Amino acid sequence: MSSVVVANIGELVIFEPERPIRHDAAVVLVDGVVQWVGDDADAPPADARVDARGGAVIPGFVDSHSHLVFAGDRAAEFEARMAGRPYMAGGIRSTVAATRAASDDELRTRLTTLVAQARAQGTTTLEIKSGYGLTVADEARALRLAREVTDETTFLGAHVVPAEYASDRGAYVDLVCGDMLAACAPHARWVDVFIDSGAFTVDEARRILLAGRDAGLGLRVHAGQLAADGGVALAVELGAASVDHCTHLTDADVDALADSSTVATLLPLVEFSTRQPYPDARRLLDAGVAIAIATDCNPGSNFSSSMPLALALAVREMGVTPLEALAAATVGGARALRRSDVGQITVGSRGGVVLLDAPSHAWLAYRVGVPLVREVVGGVR
Ligand SMILES: [Zn+2]
């Protein structure tokens, strides 16, 4: 066992329900898990001491939505989009071809680099989806690799219909629900479907999600990225842990979310990178909907893994305060993963603590683009 005390904390954001913030505080972690939170003057001794220098300390970010197992890049597609070409889901297929052609080591090297970059920006809990293999073997491989770095793995065989099934969508949905699910479920905690006019219909998604649930997986859904597509109602009906994007919502969608345990996960880096209107976080919070903010880091619609930038965009463009945005990026993400052991700083928390070169969490939005994360302490799977 090794213990470390993080002392001299000016502002400690803990996200306990009655008390989100403490001042002049300290935290003790043992083997990466929080064991004590209290006043700095009362801090017990530990094997090591980290000085927060009077600055702010926040929970490790929970990035509940990413796609990090892939090869190649789509910088040319991004340049074309910035020159005026619209975003379409079909670009995913070019990443599928590159990913299938890559070796395990190539995929692993890319994946571990991306995970290290995320941690350097304060992310200590990371969900990672498959979805660039789209064969039984390639989807199972992606999830095996993802499992090497996180327990929050998601089977996304239903990302797009691969080119070889373009004339027989039904056969591909059968494969996803059958042999592919059987090969992937042992490596996955979740099943997800991309509902979009360029991907899967609500009826196809229902079949795939129910099959995943029968295989013991929790449910997540991509819906409402480019249009109000009926996916939110399906996610709520099936009790999905999270419905992600939620950029285009009907009033009925908002009401349904407010009456449910399904989290609305907002992905503002996608709107930034595709030059689209942002989701309305204020409308959701005012309606009583639980929200999360995540990156959706992927090679196509957004290749940023920066939770601080996602948070800043939410503050600047989506009508929430810095504290509301930070909550959505930490405890909200934890809720979207049905986790109570990350996203907060309370005894037993496994998500680590993040020391900022800033006196207040608000600086994450105030000093946008500046690397304020000085050190990440703790955080264990
Ligand atoms: Zn996604």
Residue intervals in the chain for CATH 3.20.20.140: 61-336
**For residue range 202-232, what is the model confidence (pLDDT) as tens digits?**
999 999 999 999 999 999 999 999 999 999 9
CA–centroid distance, 26 to ligand 1, in Å, is 37
Residue 314: which of 343, 276, 289, 282 has the closest Cα? 282
CA–centroid distance, 63 to ligand 1, in Å, is 12
CA–centroid distance, 107 to ligand 1, in Å, is 18
Eight-state DSSP code of residue 64: -
CA–centroid distance, 23 to ligand 1, in Å, is 37
φ/ψ bin of 375: left (φ > 0), alpha (ψ from -120 to 50), beta (otherwise) = beta
Assigned CATH for 61-336: 3.20.20.140
In sequence order, the 6+-apart residues with CB closer than 8 A to the CB of 147 are 153, 187
**Residue 23 forms beta bridges with which residues?**
11
CA–centroid distance, 133 to ligand 1, in Å, is 15
CA–centroid distance, 240 to ligand 1, in Å, is 15
- Is 380 strand, coil or helix? coil
pTM of the model: 0.97
- Cβ atoms within 10 Å, residue 248: 19
| Residue 90, pLDDT above cutoff 80 | no
**For residue range 110-155, what is the model confidence (pLDDT) as tens digits?**
999 999 999 999 999 999 999 999 999 999 999 999 999 999 999 9
User: What is the spatial distance between Cα 66 and Cα 94, in angstroms, rounded to a whole number?
Assistant: 18
Q: How would residue 374 be classed by pLDDT, with cut points 50, 70 and 90?
A: very high
Residues in the chain: 381
Report strand pairing: 33-39 vs 19-30: antiparallel
| Domain range 3-59+343-377, CATH class | mainly beta
The share of the chain scoring above pLDDT 70, in percent, equals: 99
CA–centroid distance, 152 to ligand 1, in Å, is 14
CA–centroid distance, 296 to ligand 1, in Å, is 5
> Are 198 and 232 within 8 A, CB to CB?
no
Residue intervals in the chain for CATH 2.30.40.10: 3-59+343-377
Neighbours of ion ligand 1 (CB under 5 A): 296
What distances in angstroms separate CA 235 from CA 127, 218, 239, 334, one per listed residue? 18, 11, 6, 18
Give residue 87's pLDDT. Answer: 73
CA–centroid distance, 99 to ligand 1, in Å, is 17
Identify the sign of the CA torsion 162, 239, 252, 265.
Answer: negative
In sequence order, the 6+-apart residues with CB closer than 8 A to the CB of 115 are 68, 126, 149, 150
The pair of structure tokens assigned to 317 is 């463009």
| Residue 1, pLDDT above cutoff 90 | no
Q: What is the largest CA-CA distance in the chain?
A: 69
In sequence order, the 6+-apart residues with CB closer than 8 A to the CB of 376 are 60, 119, 120, 122, 124, 352, 353, 354, 355
CA–centroid distance, 65 to ligand 1, in Å, is 6
CA–centroid distance, 304 to ligand 1, in Å, is 12
